[in-house]
């Protein structure tokens, strides 16, 4: 089964970008195992608590989505981007969903395919 890791901004896409992330992942991969590092959940909770408006709502929704759809995995890294790179470097994930350009570059340079928004509200895979 394909293992897909979710970044903070991926979990916020439904509110911020009107992307049906989980439907799009089903379209791309069929059944997949979704994971997110604890550092991503920590970041979402901090954003939800510290942000007003759309970002706070998106982070709160993202945290709920992660809890419902993803298995939480532990890493040595406390920073979300580092945790995702760690999972990719260890070979524990097949893809990472993110729109974060610096993170995309790090993952692609390390050989991990990245899923990101293409067009208005669809996801596509970028291979290294």
Q: What is the pLDDT of residue 54?
A: 86
Query: Do the beta carbons of residue 106 and residue 18 sit within 8 Å?
Result: no
- In this prediction, the residues of the chain whose per-residue pLDDT falls under 70 are none
pLDDT digits (tens, 9 = 90+) for 49-65: 888 888 888 999 999 99
In the chain, what are the domains? Answer: 2-126 (3.40.50.1010)
Predicted TM-score (pTM) of this structure: 0.94
List the beta bridge partners of residue 72: 36
């Amino acid at each position: 089964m394909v293992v897909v890791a979710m970044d903070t901004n991926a979990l916020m896409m439904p509110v911020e970008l009107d992307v049906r992330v989980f439907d799009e992942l089903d379209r791309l991969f069929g059944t997949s195992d979704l994971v997110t590092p604890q550092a991503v959940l920590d970041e979402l909770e901090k954003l939800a608590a510290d942000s007003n408006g759309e970002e706070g709502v998106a982070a709160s929704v993202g945290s709920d989505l992660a809890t419902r759809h993803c298995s939480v995995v532990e890493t040595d890294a406390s920073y979300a981007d580092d945790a995702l790179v760690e999972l990719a470097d260890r070979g524990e994930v097949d893809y990472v969903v993110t729109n974060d350009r610096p993170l995309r570059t790090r993952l692609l340079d390390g050989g991990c395919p990245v899923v990101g928004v293409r067009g208005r509200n669809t996801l596509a895979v970028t291979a290294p």
